[in-house]
Structure 1
Amino acid sequence: MSVPAFDYDLAIIGSGGGAFAAAIRATNRGKRVLMVERSTVGGTCVNTGCIPSKALLAAAEARHVAVDAFGRFPGLRTSAGPVNMPELVSGKRSLVEAMRSEKYVDLAADYGWKLQHGTAAFAGTAAAPVLNITVPDGTTETVSAQHYLVATGSSPWIPEVPGMDEVDYLTSTSAMELQEVPSSMLVLGGGYVALEQAQLFARLGTKVTMLVRSRLASAEEPEAGNALAGVFSDEGIRVIRRASVSSIRADPASGDVVVSASVSGGQEEFEAARLLVATGRRPVTDNLNLCMVGVETGERGEVLVDGCLRSTNPRIWAAGDVTGHREFVYVAAAHGTLVIENAFEGAGREVDYRHLPRVTFTSPALAAAGMTDKEANQAGIRCVCRVLPLKFVPRALVNRDTRGFIKIVADADTGRIVGITAVGKEAGDIAAAGVYILEAGMTVDQVANLWSPYLTMAEGIKIAAQSFTTDVSKLSCCAA
């Protein structure tokens, strides 16, 4: 009987979406898999990201609807009392624990791979890499694998601002554990985490001010940032654009946080009970000894990978946020699956982000698939665009909330749709439909003449497509 050359076929560092997708795919192919996790099983999404944040956002929206319904719907009398934050957070924890158990810990047992609690670091050489695993009792074990997967995710990034270390600032992780609703809050950042957290706390009763370096949702269409700025203004959230933070301090008298920032060429101070820093995330690669085994990292610490997700060491791969690619759990999961096909089957598949959907779970939500107007122009596409205000979408009228739009970006020469962006209720579903439209290479004319169910938000895609050739203000509400 031959002795295996390695202890495992695949050794994974991390236990999030990318790690689990890889482990499931590898185990189904009969591979011996080791997964090493130094902290809580499940990674960012289930523990500190998607699941807990969206659970709290849903609760905040329910409260907001109760407060706002009287103004939107004649005949309704509703109200909302103070928030019991400990109970709300406890409910969130229960949900997280249940999903962590069912979708992660129990799955590992069902599939039968080894899940090891401990801290992993590479050792050996580039030609013969191994892992040193230090377990909770302090002992260290060295293991070898045919292939390794780094799936250690990312963590909140804190900018180097004078005084930052001297105040008790919050991150998106610690903010979701607060036991009381702050009276006021300053939010640094204008990306998806900042947007979601700002609206979350505003709807729970906090007076929120956002300090944004450029504009809200700066990576998306400018119409999106403008629409959300209007929504936030309606809800009492103050947005300070083009604010460059210069220093932070604590007020000794009140205990509040005071942020000094350059705004429109002048210096201003902003004060609040709490400070939330939501300025982005950075890959977690410290203490992995990647350089020892020939794995190169970028300026932000990300593992540098090729299109197939192979690092500069041909036996070491990376998946998810640690690559510095788009920070979505479904990207990480797709990475994990792709790595197994490439590592063990030589598939040579590359990541394709052309039709990647992205959603910011504000209310109304911001969602998009494909290119923005700017990206299409940069790609050399002579494009034509239409922006459809939601006042022309019957579902939005019925909802009595027409804040938002649907934008289609199309190739002017072929009519092929290359991008769809929406701000509105159920915008994520619009983006999902957009993925299929983009993947099929459909044209504006094709979408304008397809079936679409009346009184759905997705019907807005068809109406937006019709707006390229028709004055939609002259259409009957249910005209095809």
Structure 2
Amino acid sequence: MNHIHINIQGMTCTGCEEQIAVALENIGAKHIDANYPRGDVTFKLPKNVEIETAKKAIDEAKYQPGQAQILQRQEKPILDDGADYDFLIIGSGAAAFSSAIKASETGAKVAMVERSTVGGTCVNIGCVPSKTMLRAGEINGLAQNTPFSGLQTSAGPADLAQLTEQKDELVTQMRQEKYIDLIDEYGFDLVRGEAEFIDDKTIQVNGQSITAKSFLIATGAPPDIPAIPGMDMVDYLTSTTALELKEMPKRLAVIGSGYIATELGQMFHNLGTEVTLMQRSERLFNTYDPEISEAIGEALIKEGLNLITGVTYLRVEQKAITKNVYIEVNGEEQVVEADQILVATGRNPNTKALNLEAAGVKTGKKGEVQTDEYLQTTNNRIYAAGDVTLGPQFVYVAAYEGEIVAGNVLGLTKRKIDLRFVPGVIFTKPSMATVGLTEQQAKERGYDVKTSVLPLDAVPRALVNYETTGVYKLVVDTQTRKLIGAHIVSENAGDVIYGATLAVQFGLTIEDLTNSFVPYLTMAEGLKLAALAFDRDVSKLSCCAG
């Protein structure tokens, strides 16, 4: 089959993409990828079907086909003269492994360079360890404070050393099974050491020069430390070292209020620590819809965390037995005393040691690698993916980008990244999840929008759980009634958001949501109830009338 690319005029929405796909399927095309923002379609066409037939099918679907191109596919890439590898990847996280696996499957000769622990942030110091510790904290918190009056539950002091040991065992197991074992399975090389570019074709590792046709920079982003006076004189925690503690701090001061700050802050609170969250802005998650940030703020305060907003950090000092954070709020100086300080103010790209200037690769203000829509850097043989680009910092985005890079590097595809429909989840309790546009973003992009804001006490599952702090907010294009954004604060919001993601991605309307079946007494029912709330008062419906 020939791999075809055609530019198309006239596509304006995901429904247009579907019409193009149906038209091409009818003539036998496979693996169709129509994309209205970039105005093109790629697909595979049987060799006995002419390209003109495909263009005619598009024309008959009322769209205007433009230039067509046959994409060349290399079944097995051929090395440059004298090059050691087809594809060399710096880093060993999600983007790196996704890219290495796809490239290796084509027969390319692939190497991966790692200076530290294989597996990157997620499995070692991010998603896996934090989420298992969050679950431990959640269980302990429920034991201490159940909403059910007929239960007698309690919890003794948390043994943090034992919890950390169990967490470390899980991390070791998953690192071995999901990363290290795959190196031999797919047959690519692992080079231990720190990589430094010598020129755009060569890196040096432990004094050894290694050449490659193409490179992927996937070195991630470690915690960022703010320039607060005295910070360099204080023994502070980061998201990494906080998960290595063996003893519970009595008081924890958290500098920052993003997802790491709130997740770890709530975890320590649930395990018995007095926690104070401090943030510069006037509300939590100020880029989110106000109803969403207000709901999560209310939940954290209700649970007993201290939240200070509108903070200006003055200095940090380490005393004999305490660490003090001096802040200014509304013109008045305050001091927050703590046994430990957790710094959770974002992340910085890991690029300082790479000597990217020698390879002609430009970086941004924070050192992030600058890429185009194909994830290509300013050097056309070098790509970058994952957190090192300061894009959405999710492991699934990194893996998606790594796979795209492998295809583009080896000439198998020429794909642009499309991050319009990336869901995000914050694993607090209640959790927070979002996909698509906020109300403000939609208005800034010219949409005439309607919104539905459904309090969690309108969702039957929340009522039976006796946990009603939260909200569902839907953002809809008034003209088409298509869902363009969904934002949730509730139990299991991270699971519910997948349904909303599909609805946003594939252009479902309010009627599509209200006419669908949804299991009763699930948090997913909140999506349908929020959709019904556009046109009726859901408080006047019987329990399962939705």
TM-score by length of 2: 0.84
| Counterpart residue identity of residue 494, structure 2 | G
Give the corresponding residue for 1:133: 205
**Residues 190, 218 of structure 1: 8 Å contact kept:** no
Give the corresponding residue for 2:297: 229
Partner of residue 123 from structure 2, selected from 46, 50, 72: 46
| Counterpart residue identity of residue 191, structure 1 | G
Give the corresponding residue for 1:387: 453
Q: Secondary structure of 2:235's match?
A: coil
Flag structure 2 segments of 5+ consecutive residues without an equivalent: 1-77
User: Within 1, Cα distance between the matches of 2:533 and 2:212?
Assistant: 57
**Residues 295, 311 of structure 1: 8 Å contact kept:** yes
| Counterpart residue identity of residue 437, structure 2 | M
**Superposed displacement of residue 379, structure 1:** 1.1
| Counterpart residue identity of residue 244, structure 2 | E
| Counterpart residue identity of residue 198, structure 2 | A
Say whether residues 1:179 and 2:251 are aligned partners.
Answer: no
Give the corresponding residue for 2:483: 417
Any idea what the Cα deviations from partners look like across 1:55-105, whole Å, max 9, x if unmatched?
A: 100000011111112xx1131111000011110000000000000000000
User: Within 1, Cα distance between the matches of 2:90 and 2:491?
Assistant: 38
Say whether residues 1:247 and 2:315 are aligned partners.
Answer: yes
Any idea what the Cα deviations from partners look like across 1:144-164, whole Å, max 9, x if unmatched?
A: 111100000000000111100
Q: Secondary structure of 1:10's match?
A: strand
Give the corresponding residue for 1:81: 156
Give the corresponding residue for 1:432: 498
Any idea what the Cα deviations from partners look like across 1:102-157, whole Å, max 9, x if unmatched?
A: 00000111111101111111112x4xx201111xxxxx211111110000000000
Give the corresponding residue for 1:23: 100
Partner of residue 286 from structure 2, selected from 214, 218, 237: 218
**Superposed displacement of residue 346, structure 1:** 5.6
| Counterpart residue identity of residue 194, structure 2 | T
User: Within 1, Cα distance between the matches of 2:197 and 2:80?
Assistant: 21
**Residues 202, 212 of structure 2: 8 Å contact kept:** yes
User: Within 1, Cα distance between the matches of 2:383 and 2:114?
Assistant: 17
Say whether residues 1:152 and 2:219 are aligned partners.
Answer: yes
Say whether residues 1:479 and 2:545 are aligned partners.
Answer: yes
Any idea what the Cα deviations from partners look like across 1:400-431, whole Å, max 9, x if unmatched?
A: 11110110001112111100000010101121
**Residues 283, 321 of structure 1: 8 Å contact kept:** yes
Any idea what the Cα deviations from partners look like across 1:342-400, whole Å, max 9, x if unmatched?
A: 11126321111111100000011000111111111111111111110111111111111
Give the corresponding residue for 1:36: 113
**Superposed displacement of residue 47, structure 1:** 0.4
Q: Secondary structure of 1:345's match?
A: coil
**Superposed displacement of residue 251, structure 1:** 2.1
Deviation beyond 4 Å, 4+ runs, structure 1: none
Taking a change above 3 Å as real, the CA distance of residues 158 and 402 of structure 1, as seen in their structure-2 partners, is same
Give the corresponding residue for 2:230: 163
Partner of residue 61 from structure 1, selected from 138, 142, 152: 138
Q: Secondary structure of 1:322's match?
A: helix
**Residues 361, 378 of structure 2: 8 Å contact kept:** yes
User: Within 2, Cα distance between the matches of 1:217 and 1:302?
Assistant: 23
Give the corresponding residue for 1:207: 274
Larger radius of gyration: 2
**Residues 79, 86 of structure 2: 8 Å contact kept:** no
**Superposed displacement of residue 265, structure 1:** 2.1
| Counterpart residue identity of residue 92, structure 1 | K
Any idea what the Cα deviations from partners look like across 1:212-242, whole Å, max 9, x if unmatched?
A: 1112122222222211221111221010001
Any idea what the Cα deviations from partners look like across 1:266-300, whole Å, max 9, x if unmatched?
A: 22111111110000001100110101110000001
TM-score by length of 1: 0.96
Q: Secondary structure of 1:156's match?
A: coil
- Range 265-274 or range 17-26, more displaced: 265-274
**Residues 191, 218 of structure 1: 8 Å contact kept:** no
Give the corresponding residue for 1:375: 441
Give the corresponding residue for 1:137: none
| Counterpart residue identity of residue 27, structure 1 | S
- Range 255-264 or range 2-11, more displaced: 2-11
Partner of residue 326 from structure 2, selected from 245, 257, 260: 260
User: Within 2, Cα distance between the matches of 1:265 and 1:10?
Assistant: 56
User: Within 1, Cα distance between the matches of 2:79 and 2:436?
Assistant: 49
**Superposed displacement of residue 4, structure 1:** 5.0
**Residues 79, 85 of structure 2: 8 Å contact kept:** no
Give the corresponding residue for 2:524: 458
| Counterpart residue identity of residue 234, structure 1 | K
Give the corresponding residue for 2:11: none
**Residues 309, 318 of structure 1: 8 Å contact kept:** yes
Identity of paired residues, percent? 45
| Counterpart residue identity of residue 159, structure 1 | P
Say whether residues 1:349 and 2:426 are aligned partners.
Answer: no
Q: Secondary structure of 2:496's match?
A: helix
Any idea what the Cα deviations from partners look like across 1:183-215, whole Å, max 9, x if unmatched?
A: 001001111011101101000100011111112
Flag structure 1 segments of 5+ consecutive residues without an equivalent: 135-139
User: Within 1, Cα distance between the matches of 2:365 and 2:340?
Assistant: 31
**Residues 133, 141 of structure 1: 8 Å contact kept:** yes
User: Within 1, Cα distance between the matches of 2:109 and 2:184?
Assistant: 14
User: Within 2, Cα distance between the matches of 1:161 and 1:324?
Assistant: 23
